[in-house]
Amino acid sequence: MTKIDSAAPSYHSASFLSGLLQREDESLSFTAQGWMVQPRVEEKGSMPRIVVAAQALTLHQLEGIFTALQSWCVAGPLVKHPFSERFGDTVVSAPVRQTRKGGLQQALGSVAETYHADIAVVNDSPLLTEPGLLVMDMDSTVIQIECIDEIAKLAGLGEQVAAVTAQAMRGELAFSESLISRVACLKGVPVAQLEQIRNQIPLMPGVATLIAVLKQHNWRVAIASGGFTYFADYLCLRLGLDEARSNTLEVQDGNLTGRVLGNIVDAKVKALTVQELQQKWQIADSQTIAMGDGANDLLMMETARLGVACHAKPIVNEKADVAIRYTGLQGLLYYLNC
């Protein structure tokens, strides 16, 4: 057993950590005496794992993270995640034993913010290597904007509508009612102007990478959105998704009428979409994931085996199984069993 000198400059080097984790016959453990390198012992049984992901992660940062979390959990030997450094992030995981009930999610969020790293405790995650289903929200998840807010800007009501959108995403307003009132503000906007928004739509970093990797492993990927078909159907085609469900804006004489056609895609419809697509493609319960950022995504996240918060509102981060806070959407891959 060898102790690592915390006073050495290499302690703050990301490449030093990477080099340690490359050793197949040794493991790296954080103990009361500090970091120890010791012979690797094969793990027995299945335990929850803590996953830490950040750009250029160091032993110094990991020490701070594990020390801050020691009131809630104790981590075992570290291993390098199979996707570590593949997408620019250093990703490590370790078996973890929870020592305190309650408050773990809040603690993970606080420590993640302090170290600007994504940190989660996962247990029985879906297998990347088996067919699965990922259903994602669209606005502020697949893309970086709220489309309804951008349309409202065309009507000169951007700030007013954006304020209502923010309330709805925080769970302070019923989604369907808020959508109806916001869409009413769009009356008279020419449909032709929506093309400008669509052509400039900013994808969330990492979304194309996430979809490509999942598709390589025979996963199905879909959008379930409280947004609009004009954008969701376009993204379905652009990103090669399997399905998209969203709301249809009524149009007359080339202009928006301020009304939505048909039933509104709300929290219940999103959750039902996960179930329907799972049955349609015969996906096992254990292989389902739902990802979103707002309160109206919580029900579908509860329906799926793994609920993922994506750059989300505080209430969503708190209730989700895992959260992507700082990495791109490829960060979801770090939480899967590979």
The catalytic position among 89, 118, 139, 297 is 139
- Is 25 considered catalytic here? no
Maximum Cα–Cα distance across the chain: 77
User: In b/e form, how buried is each residue of 270-309, taking b as 16+ CB within 10 angstroms?
Assistant: bbbbbebbbeeeebeeebbbbbbbbbbbbbbbebbbbbbb
- Is 149 considered catalytic here? no
The catalytic position among 118, 137, 293, 297 is 137
Question: HSE-up of 72 (CA within 13 Å, CB side)?
Answer: 18
Q: What is the pLDDT along the chain (338 residues), one digit of tens a residue?
A: 688 877 778 888 888 888 888 877 777 888 887 888 877 776 655 789 999 999 999 999 999 999 999 989 888 889 899 999 999 999 999 999 888 777 888 999 999 999 999 999 999 899 999 999 999 999 999 999 989 888 888 777 667 777 777 776 676 767 788 888 888 888 898 999 899 999 999 999 999 999 999 999 999 999 999 999 999 999 999 999 999 999 999 999 999 999 999 999 999 999 999 999 999 999 999 999 999 999 999 999 999 999 999 999 999 999 999 999 999 999 999 999 98
| C-alpha to C-alpha distance for 247 and 259, rounded to whole angstroms | 10
Q: Cβ distance 100 to 75 under 8 Å?
A: no
Tokens matching residue 328:
């791109």
| C-alpha to C-alpha distance for 156 and 184, rounded to whole angstroms | 13
Q: Residue 75: count other Cβ atoms within 10 Å of its Cβ.
A: 22
pTM reported for the whole predicted model: 0.92
Chain-centroid distance, C-alpha 195: 28
